[in-house]
Amino acid sequence: MKKTGTWLAIGLVLTVGLTPAAAQGKKYTIVLIPGLTTDGFYITMRKGAEDAAKKLGVTLSFQGGPEFNPTVQIPVLNAVIARKPDAILIAPTDKQQLIAPLRAAQAAGIKVITVDTFIGDSGKYQTGSGAADFPLSYVASDNVEGGRVAARALAKAIGNKGKVYVSNVKPGISTTDQREQGFKEEMKKFSGITVLPTQYNDNDSNKAASQFAAVLARNADLAGVFGANLFSAQGAANGVKTSGKTGAVKVVAFDAPESIVNDIKNGTIDIAIAQHPAEMGAKGVEYAVAALSGKKIPAQYGTGYTVMDKSNIDDPKVQAFIYSSK
Protein backbone atom coordinates (compact mmCIF):
# COMPACT_ATOMS: atom_id res chain seq x y z
CA MET A 1 0.00 0.00 0.00
CA LYS A 2 1.27 3.41 -0.95
CA LYS A 3 -0.12 6.15 1.24
CA THR A 4 0.67 9.83 1.11
CA GLY A 5 1.28 12.16 3.97
CA THR A 6 -0.95 15.10 4.89
CA TRP A 7 -0.69 18.85 4.74
CA LEU A 8 0.62 20.68 7.73
CA ALA A 9 -2.33 22.11 9.64
CA ILE A 10 -2.42 25.88 9.66
CA GLY A 11 -3.05 27.30 13.11
CA LEU A 12 -3.25 25.41 16.37
CA VAL A 13 -3.53 21.65 16.27
CA LEU A 14 -6.76 20.49 17.88
CA THR A 15 -6.21 18.43 20.98
CA VAL A 16 -7.81 14.99 21.01
CA GLY A 17 -10.48 13.97 23.48
CA LEU A 18 -13.28 16.48 22.90
CA THR A 19 -15.97 16.28 25.57
CA PRO A 20 -19.27 15.18 23.99
CA ALA A 21 -21.58 18.15 23.56
CA ALA A 22 -24.41 16.25 25.22
CA ALA A 23 -22.31 15.91 28.37
CA GLN A 24 -22.03 19.70 28.45
CA GLY A 25 -25.78 20.11 28.26
CA LYS A 26 -25.61 21.33 24.65
CA LYS A 27 -27.16 19.66 21.62
CA TYR A 28 -25.52 21.17 18.56
CA THR A 29 -27.05 20.75 15.12
CA ILE A 30 -24.70 20.34 12.17
CA VAL A 31 -25.71 20.03 8.51
CA LEU A 32 -23.46 18.36 5.93
CA ILE A 33 -24.16 19.61 2.40
CA PRO A 34 -22.32 17.42 -0.14
CA GLY A 35 -21.46 18.18 -3.74
CA LEU A 36 -24.20 15.70 -4.62
CA THR A 37 -26.02 13.07 -2.60
CA THR A 38 -25.73 10.02 -4.87
CA ASP A 39 -21.94 9.80 -5.19
CA GLY A 40 -20.14 7.08 -3.19
CA PHE A 41 -17.48 9.61 -2.19
CA TYR A 42 -20.03 11.78 -0.39
CA ILE A 43 -21.94 8.80 0.97
CA THR A 44 -18.68 7.63 2.55
CA MET A 45 -18.06 11.14 3.87
CA ARG A 46 -21.52 11.07 5.43
CA LYS A 47 -20.72 7.82 7.25
CA GLY A 48 -17.58 9.30 8.75
CA ALA A 49 -19.47 12.42 9.80
CA GLU A 50 -22.28 10.36 11.35
CA ASP A 51 -19.81 8.28 13.35
CA ALA A 52 -18.16 11.41 14.73
CA ALA A 53 -21.51 13.05 15.45
CA LYS A 54 -22.64 10.01 17.42
CA LYS A 55 -19.46 9.97 19.48
CA LEU A 56 -19.65 13.68 20.19
CA GLY A 57 -23.37 13.75 20.96
CA VAL A 58 -24.47 16.16 18.23
CA THR A 59 -27.27 16.02 15.66
CA LEU A 60 -26.14 15.67 12.06
CA SER A 61 -28.27 15.93 8.93
CA PHE A 62 -27.22 15.29 5.32
CA GLN A 63 -28.91 17.46 2.71
CA GLY A 64 -28.01 18.11 -0.89
CA GLY A 65 -29.02 17.74 -4.50
CA PRO A 66 -28.62 15.06 -7.18
CA GLU A 67 -26.19 17.11 -9.30
CA PHE A 68 -22.82 18.73 -8.71
CA ASN A 69 -24.10 22.14 -9.74
CA PRO A 70 -24.26 25.51 -7.92
CA THR A 71 -27.75 26.21 -9.26
CA VAL A 72 -28.88 23.03 -7.48
CA GLN A 73 -26.78 23.47 -4.34
CA ILE A 74 -27.46 27.12 -3.55
CA PRO A 75 -31.24 26.68 -2.95
CA VAL A 76 -30.44 23.76 -0.63
CA LEU A 77 -27.94 25.92 1.24
CA ASN A 78 -30.41 28.81 1.53
CA ALA A 79 -33.06 26.47 2.95
CA VAL A 80 -30.55 25.13 5.49
CA ILE A 81 -29.54 28.66 6.53
CA ALA A 82 -33.21 29.50 7.14
CA ARG A 83 -33.37 26.70 9.72
CA LYS A 84 -30.35 28.17 11.55
CA PRO A 85 -28.22 25.13 12.43
CA ASP A 86 -25.19 25.68 14.60
CA ALA A 87 -22.72 24.73 11.87
CA ILE A 88 -22.60 23.88 8.18
CA LEU A 89 -20.10 21.54 6.56
CA ILE A 90 -20.23 22.01 2.81
CA ALA A 91 -18.48 20.87 -0.37
CA PRO A 92 -18.97 24.01 -2.50
CA THR A 93 -19.81 23.23 -6.13
CA ASP A 94 -18.27 26.46 -7.41
CA LYS A 95 -15.38 28.55 -6.10
CA GLN A 96 -17.06 31.91 -6.67
CA GLN A 97 -20.82 31.39 -6.77
CA LEU A 98 -20.94 29.93 -3.24
CA ILE A 99 -19.11 32.85 -1.60
CA ALA A 100 -22.15 35.11 -1.13
CA PRO A 101 -24.55 32.43 0.15
CA LEU A 102 -21.95 31.12 2.60
CA ARG A 103 -21.23 34.63 3.82
CA ALA A 104 -24.95 34.91 4.52
CA ALA A 105 -24.64 31.78 6.66
CA GLN A 106 -21.75 33.32 8.58
CA ALA A 107 -23.72 36.54 9.04
CA ALA A 108 -26.54 34.46 10.54
CA GLY A 109 -24.13 33.19 13.21
CA ILE A 110 -23.60 29.76 11.64
CA LYS A 111 -20.10 28.23 11.75
CA VAL A 112 -18.91 27.41 8.21
CA ILE A 113 -16.37 24.72 7.33
CA THR A 114 -15.73 23.50 3.79
CA VAL A 115 -14.94 19.86 3.07
CA ASP A 116 -13.47 18.41 -0.15
CA THR A 117 -13.82 21.67 -2.11
CA PHE A 118 -13.27 25.31 -1.20
CA ILE A 119 -14.36 28.84 -2.09
CA GLY A 120 -12.10 31.58 -3.35
CA ASP A 121 -8.84 31.10 -5.19
CA SER A 122 -6.75 28.98 -2.83
CA GLY A 123 -8.68 27.45 0.04
CA LYS A 124 -6.61 29.47 2.50
CA TYR A 125 -8.98 30.79 5.12
CA GLN A 126 -8.70 33.06 8.16
CA THR A 127 -6.00 35.16 6.51
CA GLY A 128 -7.62 38.53 7.14
CA SER A 129 -7.81 39.30 3.43
CA GLY A 130 -9.97 38.42 0.47
CA ALA A 131 -13.71 37.95 0.09
CA ALA A 132 -13.58 34.21 0.74
CA ASP A 133 -11.35 33.86 3.81
CA PHE A 134 -14.21 33.63 6.36
CA PRO A 135 -14.82 29.83 6.61
CA LEU A 136 -13.16 28.46 9.71
CA SER A 137 -11.41 25.53 8.06
CA TYR A 138 -10.90 23.59 4.83
CA VAL A 139 -10.72 19.79 5.26
CA ALA A 140 -9.63 17.89 2.14
CA SER A 141 -6.96 16.05 0.22
CA ASP A 142 -3.99 17.96 -1.22
CA ASN A 143 -5.38 17.95 -4.75
CA VAL A 144 -2.40 19.57 -6.48
CA GLU A 145 -0.16 16.85 -5.09
CA GLY A 146 -2.74 14.26 -6.06
CA GLY A 147 -2.51 15.49 -9.64
CA ARG A 148 1.26 15.21 -9.52
CA VAL A 149 1.03 11.65 -8.22
CA ALA A 150 -1.37 10.82 -11.06
CA ALA A 151 1.08 12.28 -13.60
CA ARG A 152 4.01 10.28 -12.28
CA ALA A 153 1.96 7.09 -12.22
CA LEU A 154 0.70 7.59 -15.77
CA ALA A 155 4.15 8.52 -17.06
CA LYS A 156 5.57 5.31 -15.61
CA ALA A 157 2.72 3.24 -17.06
CA ILE A 158 3.30 4.55 -20.60
CA GLY A 159 7.08 4.34 -20.49
CA ASN A 160 7.58 8.12 -20.20
CA LYS A 161 6.47 8.78 -23.78
CA GLY A 162 3.30 9.32 -25.76
CA LYS A 163 0.20 11.50 -25.84
CA VAL A 164 -2.12 11.95 -22.86
CA TYR A 165 -5.00 14.17 -21.87
CA VAL A 166 -7.03 15.15 -18.82
CA SER A 167 -10.73 14.28 -18.69
CA ASN A 168 -12.20 16.89 -16.36
CA VAL A 169 -15.57 18.26 -15.24
CA LYS A 170 -15.53 21.99 -16.00
CA PRO A 171 -13.44 25.01 -15.00
CA GLY A 172 -14.22 26.64 -11.66
CA ILE A 173 -14.36 23.59 -9.38
CA SER A 174 -11.58 23.93 -6.84
CA THR A 175 -10.58 20.27 -6.49
CA THR A 176 -10.57 19.25 -10.12
CA ASP A 177 -8.91 22.52 -11.15
CA GLN A 178 -6.08 21.73 -8.74
CA ARG A 179 -5.74 18.09 -9.85
CA GLU A 180 -5.40 19.22 -13.45
CA GLN A 181 -2.91 21.89 -12.37
CA GLY A 182 -0.73 19.39 -10.51
CA PHE A 183 -0.93 16.86 -13.35
CA LYS A 184 0.15 19.36 -16.01
CA GLU A 185 2.92 20.83 -13.85
CA GLU A 186 4.36 17.39 -13.20
CA MET A 187 4.08 16.26 -16.82
CA LYS A 188 6.39 19.12 -17.87
CA LYS A 189 9.19 17.03 -16.35
CA PHE A 190 8.69 14.32 -18.99
CA SER A 191 9.97 15.57 -22.33
CA GLY A 192 8.67 12.53 -24.18
CA ILE A 193 5.06 13.11 -23.17
CA THR A 194 2.66 15.46 -24.95
CA VAL A 195 -0.36 16.71 -23.00
CA LEU A 196 -3.31 17.26 -25.32
CA PRO A 197 -6.10 19.79 -24.60
CA THR A 198 -8.31 19.02 -21.61
CA GLN A 199 -11.75 17.57 -22.34
CA TYR A 200 -14.55 18.94 -20.14
CA ASN A 201 -17.49 16.58 -19.69
CA ASP A 202 -19.85 18.40 -17.28
CA ASN A 203 -19.76 15.44 -14.89
CA ASP A 204 -21.37 13.21 -17.53
CA SER A 205 -19.59 9.86 -17.90
CA ASN A 206 -21.31 9.20 -21.26
CA LYS A 207 -19.97 12.50 -22.58
CA ALA A 208 -16.52 11.63 -21.24
CA ALA A 209 -16.66 8.28 -23.12
CA SER A 210 -17.64 10.05 -26.33
CA GLN A 211 -14.84 12.55 -25.87
CA PHE A 212 -12.38 9.69 -25.46
CA ALA A 213 -13.51 8.25 -28.79
CA ALA A 214 -13.11 11.63 -30.46
CA VAL A 215 -9.62 12.21 -29.04
CA LEU A 216 -8.58 8.68 -30.07
CA ALA A 217 -9.89 9.28 -33.60
CA ARG A 218 -7.64 12.34 -33.88
CA ASN A 219 -4.69 10.69 -32.11
CA ALA A 220 -4.32 7.01 -32.96
CA ASP A 221 -1.18 6.96 -30.81
CA LEU A 222 -2.99 8.11 -27.66
CA ALA A 223 -1.23 6.53 -24.69
CA GLY A 224 -3.09 7.62 -21.57
CA VAL A 225 -5.88 9.50 -19.82
CA PHE A 226 -6.15 11.06 -16.38
CA GLY A 227 -9.74 11.12 -15.10
CA ALA A 228 -9.77 14.04 -12.67
CA ASN A 229 -12.88 12.82 -10.85
CA LEU A 230 -15.12 9.77 -10.60
CA PHE A 231 -17.37 10.39 -13.61
CA SER A 232 -14.46 11.49 -15.79
CA ALA A 233 -12.54 8.32 -14.98
CA GLN A 234 -15.56 6.06 -15.47
CA GLY A 235 -16.29 7.66 -18.83
CA ALA A 236 -12.69 7.32 -19.98
CA ALA A 237 -12.65 3.69 -18.85
CA ASN A 238 -15.85 2.97 -20.76
CA GLY A 239 -14.34 4.63 -23.82
CA VAL A 240 -11.26 2.44 -23.53
CA LYS A 241 -13.39 -0.71 -23.34
CA THR A 242 -15.67 0.27 -26.22
CA SER A 243 -12.73 1.11 -28.47
CA GLY A 244 -10.95 -2.15 -27.73
CA LYS A 245 -7.97 -0.29 -26.31
CA THR A 246 -7.82 -1.99 -22.92
CA GLY A 247 -4.17 -2.28 -21.96
CA ALA A 248 -3.04 -0.09 -24.86
CA VAL A 249 -4.36 3.18 -23.45
CA LYS A 250 -3.64 3.56 -19.75
CA VAL A 251 -6.16 5.21 -17.43
CA VAL A 252 -5.44 6.80 -14.07
CA ALA A 253 -8.56 7.49 -12.02
CA PHE A 254 -8.93 10.00 -9.22
CA ASP A 255 -11.40 8.49 -6.73
CA ALA A 256 -12.21 4.89 -5.86
CA PRO A 257 -15.82 3.69 -6.09
CA GLU A 258 -16.65 0.03 -5.52
CA SER A 259 -16.42 -0.68 -9.26
CA ILE A 260 -12.74 0.26 -9.17
CA VAL A 261 -11.77 -3.23 -7.97
CA ASN A 262 -12.98 -4.95 -11.14
CA ASP A 263 -11.74 -2.08 -13.32
CA ILE A 264 -8.22 -2.49 -11.96
CA LYS A 265 -8.30 -6.29 -12.07
CA ASN A 266 -9.46 -6.39 -15.70
CA GLY A 267 -7.01 -3.69 -16.73
CA THR A 268 -9.51 -1.05 -17.82
CA ILE A 269 -8.15 1.29 -15.16
CA ASP A 270 -4.49 0.97 -14.28
CA ILE A 271 -4.25 3.11 -11.16
CA ALA A 272 -6.76 4.72 -8.81
CA ILE A 273 -6.04 7.47 -6.30
CA ALA A 274 -8.41 7.11 -3.36
CA GLN A 275 -9.16 10.04 -1.11
CA HIS A 276 -10.23 9.57 2.49
CA PRO A 277 -13.77 11.00 2.56
CA ALA A 278 -14.80 9.29 5.81
CA GLU A 279 -11.94 11.06 7.56
CA MET A 280 -12.99 14.35 5.95
CA GLY A 281 -16.50 13.97 7.32
CA ALA A 282 -15.32 12.95 10.78
CA LYS A 283 -12.75 15.72 11.03
CA GLY A 284 -15.27 18.28 9.79
CA VAL A 285 -17.69 17.36 12.56
CA GLU A 286 -14.91 17.33 15.13
CA TYR A 287 -13.76 20.78 14.08
CA ALA A 288 -17.32 22.14 14.05
CA VAL A 289 -17.91 20.95 17.62
CA ALA A 290 -14.56 22.36 18.73
CA ALA A 291 -15.35 25.74 17.17
CA LEU A 292 -18.81 25.77 18.75
CA SER A 293 -17.14 25.02 22.09
CA GLY A 294 -14.96 28.09 21.72
CA LYS A 295 -11.76 26.33 20.67
CA LYS A 296 -9.47 27.45 17.85
CA ILE A 297 -9.19 25.01 14.97
CA PRO A 298 -6.69 24.72 12.10
CA ALA A 299 -7.61 26.72 9.00
CA GLN A 300 -6.60 23.76 6.83
CA TYR A 301 -6.36 20.02 7.33
CA GLY A 302 -5.21 17.44 4.80
CA THR A 303 -6.48 13.87 4.90
CA GLY A 304 -4.12 12.35 2.33
CA TYR A 305 -4.91 9.57 -0.13
CA THR A 306 -4.12 5.94 -0.98
CA VAL A 307 -2.83 4.75 -4.36
CA MET A 308 -4.34 1.51 -5.69
CA ASP A 309 -3.19 -0.76 -8.50
CA LYS A 310 -3.07 -4.47 -9.36
CA SER A 311 -0.26 -5.06 -6.89
CA ASN A 312 -2.31 -4.06 -3.84
CA ILE A 313 -6.00 -4.00 -4.76
CA ASP A 314 -6.69 -7.26 -2.86
CA ASP A 315 -5.09 -5.97 0.34
CA PRO A 316 -7.85 -5.42 2.94
CA LYS A 317 -6.00 -2.36 4.23
CA VAL A 318 -6.23 -0.83 0.77
CA GLN A 319 -9.82 -1.93 0.17
CA ALA A 320 -10.81 -0.12 3.35
CA PHE A 321 -10.45 3.11 1.38
CA ILE A 322 -12.86 2.11 -1.40
CA TYR A 323 -15.94 4.34 -1.31
CA SER A 324 -19.26 2.87 -0.24
CA SER A 325 -22.39 3.40 -2.36
CA LYS A 326 -24.83 2.62 0.45
Q: Which domains does the chain have, with CATH numbers?
A: 2-140+276-304 (3.40.50.2300), 143-274 (3.40.50.2300)
Pairing mode of beta strands 305-308, 271-275: antiparallel
Residue 276 has pLDDT above 90, yes or no: yes
- DSSP output for 92-150: -SSTTTTHHHHHHHHHTT-EEEEESS-STTT---SSS-STT--SSEEEE--HHHHHHHH
Whether the Cβ atoms of residue 158 and residue 224 lie closer than 8 Å to each other: yes
Helices 99-107 and 70-83, axial angle in degrees (round to 10): 0
Q: What would the pLDDT profile of 41-91 be if each residue is shown by its tens digit? A: 999 999 999 999 999 999 999 999 999 999 999 999 999 999 999 999 999
For residues 147 and 149, what is the distance between their CA atoms, to the nearest angstrom? 5
The mean pLDDT value for 276-282 works out to: 96
For residues 101-110, give the mean pLDDT. Answer: 98
Record the pTM: 0.81
Give the phi and the psi of residue 269 in degrees, each rounded to 5: -115, 130
pLDDT higher at 201 or 8? 201
CA 260 to chain centre: 16
Per-residue confidence (pLDDT) for residue 7, from 0 to 100: 45
The band of 18, judged by pLDDT with boundaries at 50, 70 and 90, is low
| Highest averaged pLDDT of the listed ranges 13-17, 39-43, 183-187, 237-241 | 183-187
Query: Is 214's pLDDT higher than 90?
Result: yes
What is the tally of helices (H) and strands (E) in the chain?
A: 10, 14
Q: What is the pLDDT of residues 135-167, one digit of tens each?
A: 999 999 889 999 999 999 999 999 999 999 999
Strands 111-115 and 59-62, by their bridges, are unpaired
Sign of the CA dihedral with 173 first, then 178, 181, and 186 last: negative
